Amino acid sequence: MARRAPVQEARDDVDVLLERLGLTIDPELLVLALTHRSFAHEAGGIPTNERLEFLGDSVLGIIVTEHLYRAHPDTPEGDLAKMRAATVSQRALAQVARELGLGDFVLLGRGELVTGGRDKDSILSDTVEALIGAAYLCHGLEPTRGMVERLVADLLGHAAALGAGLDWKTSLQELAAAHEQPGPTYAVVGSGPDHARSFVATVTLGAQPYGTGAGTSKKIAEQRAAKDAYERLLAEQPAAGASGVAGTADRA
């Protein structure tokens, strides 16, 4: 019988994490922000970070929205919405979490630990939002704004240059319409157990499959399929849409 790999327990030197965040957080709130529901369930139903995540999502949204509004005074609302979506997406926030080394500090149940929960986009992004919620409760909006803007500074800087990559599904729909193609439709197939689901999406224009994409959620798979189809359609008629691509990032 193969020996099972050792399970990495959460780091308890949270002062390191707080230093990286640049703000202090009440110890009880910090523990709560780091408590994933899998750990809470195994610990007998203690509170989880989901309420803090709910709060942090709203705080993050207003901070990023206001920043983009002020930084891009001539940008239309639709483009601002795409830039915001790229900045606060699950994948983008997971990137922030990895730069913080956040996965090492999250309290996870055994099932999540053995299936790589410390590096799952969904868990990492949710924990970032929970930490933002905890910071807001401790310090209010302005200190939290400073923390958030530091954490997502690179994302904010890149968002304006992403072009079609801000939202591949919308960009594909617009490109298809410009080429008088039927609107895209998506078919998604999921596989794997509940704790480790994976999805494959296929996008069709008319009766013809145009692109495929895989991911850990339906949304990510559809965005990657749309990117694949967008680039194929653009290559078939380069003169019609070449100016629409300012980048190739695939944020979900």
The answer to whether the CB of 209 falls within 8 A of the CB of 218 is no
Task: Please say if 9 is a catalytic residue.
Answer: no
List Cβ neighbours of 221 (8 Å cut-off, separation of 6 or more). Answer: 188, 199, 200, 201, 213, 214, 215
Ramachandran quadrant class, 212 (left: phi over 0; alpha: psi -120 to 50; beta: rest): beta
Q: Is residue 228 annotated as involved in ligand binding?
A: no
d(CA 154, CA 231): 25
Looking at residue 196, the DSSP 8-state letter turns out to be: G
- At residue 8, what are phi and psi to the nearest 5 degrees? -85, 115
Q: Is residue 66 annotated as involved in ligand binding?
A: no
Out of 57, 228, 231, 250, the active site residue is 57
Q: 3-state class of 183 per DSSP? A: coil
Task: Please say if 26 is a catalytic residue.
Answer: no
Residue with tokens 């189809």: 229
Out of 112, 129, 222, 231, the active site residue is 129
Task: Spell out the SS3 assignment of 1-25.
Answer: CCCCCCCCCCCCCHHHHHHHHCCCC
Q: Is residue 53 annotated as involved in ligand binding?
A: yes
d(CA 197, CA 20): 32
Residues of each annotated binding site for Mg(2+): 53, 126, 129
Residues tagged active-site: 57, 129
Residues flagged as binding site = 53, 126, 129
